[in-house]
Amino acid sequence: MTLLAVNELSKYFGGVKAVDGVSFGVDHGEIVGLIGPNGAGKTTCFNLISGLLTPTRGSVSLLGHSLGGLAPYYRSRRGLARTFQNIQLFGGMDVLENVLTGCHQRQEIGAFRALWPGRGVRRAETRAEERARELLALVGLAERADFPADALAYGEQRRLEIARALAQEPRLLMLDEPAAGLNSRETEDLMTLLQELRERGITLLIIEHDMTLIMGLCHRVVVLDHGQVIAAGPPSEIRRDPRVIEAYLGREEDDGDL
Amino acid sequence: MFLQQLLNGLTAGAVYALIALGYTMIYGILGLINFAQGEIYMFGAFVAVLLLGTGQVNFFVAFAAGMAAAAILGVVLERVAFRPLRGSHPLVPLISAIGASIFLQSLALLLFGPNDRPFPIQFNFRTITIAGLPLSSLQGAILVAALGLMVLLLLFVRYTRYGKAIVACALDQDTARLMGINVDRMVALTFLIGSALSGAAGIMMAIYYNATYPRMGLLPGLKAFSAAILGGVGNIPGAILGGVLLGVAESLGAAYVSSGYKDAIAFAILILVLLFRPQGILKGRGD
Amino acid sequence: MLTLKSVQAGYGKLTVLKGISFHVRPGEVVTLIGGNGAGKSTTLRAVSGLLPLWRGVVEFNGADLTRLPPERIVTLGLALVPEGRRIFASLSVTANLELGAFHRRDQRQARRDLEEIRERFPLLKERASQPAGTLSGGEQQILAICRALMSRPRLLMLDEPSMGLAPRMVNQVYKILRELKDEGTTLLLIEQNARAALKLADRGYVLETGRIILDGSAAELREDPEVQRAYLGKGYREVWE
Amino acid sequence: MSAYFLHLAILGGIYIILAISLNLIIGYAGQVSLGHAAFFGIGAYISALTSLYWGFPFLLAALSAILFSGVCGLLLGLPTLRLKEDYLAIVTLGFGVIVDLVFLNLEITGGPDGLAGIPSPRILGLSFRSPVMYLFLTLFMVLLTLALTYRLVHSYHGRALRAIRDHEVTAQVMGINTPAYKVAIFTLAAALAGLAGSLYAHYITFINPESFGLHTSILALCMVVLGGMGSIAGAVVGALALTVLPELLRSFKAYQDLIYGGLLVALLIWRPEGLLGRGKLSLKFISRE
């Protein structure tokens, strides 16, 4: 069953076509990689899907319902969560609070009930906190719960961002270069974490440049180059696709011109 | 009557436009509302009035000195109140600008006293009647002078090296630096020009209303900022258009709607514009 | 001409360059290649002064660039065509070119250079008064290169000039770079388009996660399977072989 | 207790409520209002008018003031809070000027002469005419305000507000309805300012437009910045300091505004977190990405 459907999505900035007629889908329980060279339009795609940008043309739908025109917070409530290429944590909060922020939309506590909390609210808060601590344990940050988010090391911040996104209990989790800036140890840890998520049946859409991660994890890979899908399929096909190698390394026939 | 009001509005509008140019240029390059712009306007007027009062200098020297003093004040202000705050949350320089505005206003109160000062020289302006419309040559002179300064500024921005460099800094500071442009210097230059124009506007208004006083800059400053937003902030022709529109709307509104709410008209228009067309009439930089 | 000695730099907590040393000799075309996140753009940002160095030294023709701001560095003859072109979108094509020569003292000569460039690239003449933002991506890239040339650089640095461009435009951009090379311009080129870059370059360095792991002549690197591995990211071998 | 000290304490209490309400907007919605005195004034006039013309008892008058100011805040905030910080600053400033002119021009508000003879509060037969009693009333309201804001900031919603302050875009992606929160906090702040206005009107018993102009808006802003943007305790300290300081500086009356203005700039440069703030808001640097 198709969870996310991206249809003829386009975004032009002035004369530049950052995303140009991109279509692909993500099925339930699937892990899809979105790869391509720098400037191919991957992050723009993410921003269009999560509603931070308005497309020039095209549509995005989740479970058959169009997300067109919906603000990012409604999309989040429909089940989209994401992380950012340059990590964006709430620096003024501690680690636990960051994750609790992710629980926000599942709590739905009314204004007055939050001010004079009865047993129901307190129970909801306790549940949220338990869940947040579980997620912190999952990403290996249980010990860091009380640290200010600012004080974490870079790799820990990446994992915290994933925990916060998971707290949203998303139908689809979108990760934008989760391995960027990580050393090889940290990348391995991340792989293990993502495999764990896969086993739990979480649907993932990942932008990543680390091919080991992409090829080892994804069921399907979509390759973008200058704003268009140039290839899509299982990793075994993608790794043999000459167009993909071209996109990364440049064209063989270009050489003739030079 | 209508034409007379229109002309009054155009005159005030031209002056608002001059101040609005300063706001819009500074906002364009730093993203900062320089709330003290109205106080710079007031200082320009005071310097010219005091110099003329000595009886030692002629009108044009005093006018130039007023503009120069305003320009220097603007540059000093940027150094002291804004540069140390660059890169912090946008609210911080905004509040600093408010502080600077209060400071300068009360400084003027201490230095010059609370009373209105008349403009020291009397011009022998005649009112010419053209087709039944009484045209004061004072209004004519203000319109011509303001228009002249605006044309000069537009030419400067469009055709000179430094003008283009200022625009480049407003668009992309890092890349401007790669071109060898010293961003700090361009910011100072922007303050210099914007403040000089405000100083000129202050002197014109001091002549027009024959009054100079410490709080004279408050409302024209705020209205000029509204004009800058109205025209699309960061947009130079927009600031001129916005200033003129506001001046005319205010004058007609005071005449035909209610004079008690004259000062509210500019802000009412501002709020309406922001609600329905936040990017201003002409497109601003912020979109 | 340009020498980097154990340069370290990064953003916030993240160390991107973990001690980079390389050099460029006059008249050479040198390329830095490597996978995403290897630190290529960061290297150029550090050399051009946009990013402060944490450690190490950058020298250019005997001058120490380490603490100089970018606006001073460009006056020494070191120009950068930044990643993503960064043209001044609302200014005219001509104004963009003129700004490239902003710091030059010989403005009269700069005007002659402008004419020359416009003769050479008719596109820039035809669109002279059009806002630069209305150009296509490839046209913007050509404009960005010409804007940098207007400063008469002794060393021209290019950050991924083929990024996001259609193959036809990549060819056109590389044709220009080839001509510059033939005229004797010294180039430092960062590329993801490794084939094109190594075809053009005399020498190359391969970066991986903030370190130089390989260097050699372009011809050697073209044949080296390790390059493809570094370039396509970790695990390339398992993936593509 | 000297009568003078009592007077200062009551005024201080009223300004604490005003400063806390403005601090909610600055510290938790990341926006600045330069027309906050307008809500203070609306509260004062509504409270005064309902008591004078309809004979509302104090509590009902104060409640009307709170509701009416809140609705004004809602109506202003609804369309304007999606604007950028500095646009909102100028819109609120314009709103302040307009409201001031309305007070000045309406017949019912007494124009420039204002309203006199506003009755002292009577609650359950208890008169609050004496300053000591009024101080108790004020203290009670201050404690109520403090309790409310403390609960709010430390609740589920407070966390959402802090997330918005730290990173608005990311907060949206977390499913936090940022526009709704901003409008809600703005409305609450306006309502609290209305409460402060009501307390002011029934204490001074005479009001005119002069007390609710730009000057008062800026005074409230100074209190918040002095104490520390985003810190409740800071707002309390800031409000008290700027109520007492002018009295200490009485012989420098002429220099008072000069000192305020200079203080504001100097504070932002050397101690942007204010006297008690934790510096989260002011020290956050925008990354150069």
pLDDT(A239) > 90: no
pLDDT at D195: 97
D122 belongs to a structural domain: yes
* b/e code B195-228 from CB counts within 10 Å (16+ = b): bbbbbbbbbbbbbbeebbbbebbbebbbbbbbbb
Least-confidence region, from C112-126, D175-189, D233-247: D233-247
Of the three residues A131, A164, A197, the one that is the final residue of a domain is A164
Chains within contact range of chain A (3+ C-beta pairs < 8 Å): C, D
> Closest approach of chain A CAs to the CA of C45, in angstroms?
17
Structure confidence at residue B212 as a pLDDT band (50, 70, 90): very high
CA-wise closest residue to A37 among A226, A257, A203: A226
Yes or no, beta carbons of D175 and A115 under 8 Å apart: no
Q: Average pLDDT of A146-158?
A: 89
Chains B and C touch (3+ CB pairs under 8 A): yes
A185: exposed, middle or buried (C-beta count within 10 Å: 0-12, 13-18, 19+)?
A: exposed
Residues of C in contact with A248 (CB under 8 A): 192, 194, 231-232
Considering the domain architecture, whether residues A176 and A160 belong to the same structural domain is answered as no
**Domain, as residue range, for D82:** 12-213
Instruction: Say yes or no: B175 contacts chain C, CB-CB below 8 A.
Output: yes
SS3 call for A209: coil
Question: How many structural domains is chain D composed of?
Answer: 1
Q: Residue D280 pLDDT more than 50?
A: no
A137, A64: one domain: no
pLDDT of residue D138: 95
- CA pair distance D269, D263, nearest whole angstrom: 10
Residue A254 has pLDDT above 50, yes or no: no
pLDDT > 70 in chain B, percent: 94
Residue C84 contacts A, CB cutoff 8 Å:
yes
The CATH number covering residue A20 comes to 3.40.50.300
Give the ipTM of the model, two decimals please: 0.83
**How far is C30 from C24, CA to CA, in rounded Å?**
7
Q: Is B272 on the interface with D (CB under 8 A)?
A: no
CA distance C67 to C61: 15
Picking from B164, B178, B186 by the largest number of C CB atoms within 10 A of its own CB, the best residue to mutate is B178
Domain total for chain A? 2
Residue type, position C140, single letter? Q
Residue B17 pLDDT: 95
The average confidence (pLDDT) of chain B is 89
Beta bridge partners of D207: D115
Q: How far is the alpha carbon of D190 from chain A, nearest alpha carbon, in Å?
A: 17
d(CA B33, CA B227): 13
Q: How far, in Å, CA of D173 to CA of B79, rounded?
A: 39
List pLDDT tens digits, range B2-49.
888 888 899 999 999 999 999 999 998 988 889 899 999 999 999 999
For residues A134 and A103, membership in a common domain is answered with yes
Answer whether C239 touches B (CB < 8 Å). no
- Which residue among B164, B167, B177 places its CB closest to the CB of C71? B177
Is D231 domain-assigned? Answer: no
Q: How confident is the model at residue D78 (pLDDT cuts 50, 70, 90)?
A: confident
Is residue D273 one of the residues assigned to a domain?
A: no
Q: How far is B164 from chain C (nearest CA, A)?
A: 7
For residues D183 and D177, give the distance between their C-alpha atoms in angstroms, rounded to a whole number. Answer: 10
All residues of chain B having their beta carbon less than 8 Å from the beta carbon of residue D264 are 95-96, 98-99, 102-103
Specify whether the CB–CB gap between A175 and A139 falls below 8 A.
no
Is pLDDT at D282 greater than 60 in this prediction? Answer: no
- Write the residue in D155, D169, D177 that is nearest to A114 by C-beta: D155
Residues of chain A whose beta carbon is less than 8 angstroms from a beta carbon of chain C are 14-18, 37-41, 153-154, 157, 177, 180-181, 183-184, 187, 209-213, 215-216, 226-227, 235, 239, 245, 248-252, 254-255, 257-258
pLDDT top residue among B248 and C36: B248
Domain stop point among A164, A182, A197: A164
State yes or no: chains D and B have 3 or more CB pairs below 8 A: yes
What percent of chain D clears pLDDT 70, i.e. is strictly above it?
93
Is residue D270 domain-resident? Answer: no
Question: Which chains form contacts with chain C, at 3 or more CB pairs under 8 Å?
Answer: A, B, D
Q: Is the pLDDT of residue A252 over 60?
A: no
Give the residue ranges of chain C where pLDDT is below 70.
Answer: 228-241
pLDDT band with cut points at 50, 70 and 90 for residue B260: confident
What would you report as the CA-atom Rg of chain B, rounded to the nearest whole angstrom? 18
Report the residue from A84, A89, A104 with minimal CB separation from D175: A104
Chain C CA closest to residue D289: C11
The Cα–Cα gap between D89 and D221 comes to 12
- A10 located within any domain: yes
**Contact A/C (≥3 CB pairs under 8 Å):** yes
Q: What's the sign of the alpha-carbon dihedral A93, A97, A98, A104?
A: negative
Average pLDDT over residues D109-117: 90
pLDDT category at D275 given cuts 50, 70, 90 is: low
Same domain flag for A73 and A185: yes
Task: Note the pLDDT tens digit of each residue in C196-208.
Answer: 889 999 999 998 8
Task: For residues A67 and A187, state if they share a domain.
Answer: yes
CA distance A258 to B174: 32
Q: Do chains A and D touch (3 or more CB pairs under 8 A)?
A: yes
Cβ partners under 8 Å of residue C102, min gap 6 = B161, B164, B165, B179, B180, B181
Model confidence pLDDT, tens digit, residues D23-62: 999 888 778 888 999 999 999 999 999 999 999 999 999 9
The answer, yes or no, to whether residue D254 has pLDDT greater than 80, is no
**For residues C196 and C174, is the Cβ–Cβ distance under 8 A?**
yes
Say whether residue B160 is in contact with chain C using an 8 A CB cutoff.
Answer: no
| Tokens encoding A52 | 């931070």
Asked if D229's CB is within 8 angstroms of B91's CB, the reply is: yes
Q: Does a structural domain hold residue A220?
A: yes
- Domain segments of chain B: what residues? 8-116+130-217
Helical residues (DSSP H) of B113-261, grouped into ranges: 137-159, 161-171, 173-178, 183-209, 218-230, 236-256
Output phi, psi for C72, to 5 deg.
-85, -40
Residue-level pLDDT at D287: 26
Of C125-134, C167-176, D94-103, D277-286, the range with the lowest mean pLDDT is D277-286
pLDDT of amino acid B128: 73
3-state secondary structure of C153: coil
Residue at A87 is within a domain: no
Mean pLDDT confidence for A61-77? 92
Of residues D180 and C13, more confidently modeled: D180
Residues of B in contact with C99 (CB under 8 A): 164-165, 168, 176, 179, 181
Q: Which of A112, A54, A51, A55 is nearest to A82 (CA)?
A: A51
DSSP code, position C154: S
Measured between beta carbons, the chain C residues lying within 8 angstroms of A255 are 195-196, 199
Are residues D175 and A76 in contact, defined by beta-carbon separation less than 8 angstroms? yes
Last residue of a domain, one of A164, A186, A208: A164
Q: What are the phi and psi torsion angles at B3 (to 5°)?
A: -65, -35
The pLDDT value recorded for residue A250 is 67
Question: Could you say which residues from 22 to 61 on chain C have a Cβ atom under 8 Å away from some Cβ of chain A?
Answer: 35-37
In this predicted structure, the answer to whether residue B215 has a pLDDT above a threshold of 50 is yes
In tens, the pLDDT along B51-74 reads 998 888 889 999 999 999 999 999
Q: Quick check: is A37 in a domain?
A: yes
Express each pLDDT in B107-139 by its tens digit: 999 999 888 888 887 777 777 777 666 778 888
Chain D nearest CA to B32, separation (Å)? 8
The predicted structure's pLDDT at residue D277: 58
Structural domain including A150 reads 92-164
Which residue on chain A is closest to D161 by alpha carbon? A101
The answer on pLDDT for A106 being more than 90 is: no
Note whether B171 contacts C100, CB cutoff 8 Å: no
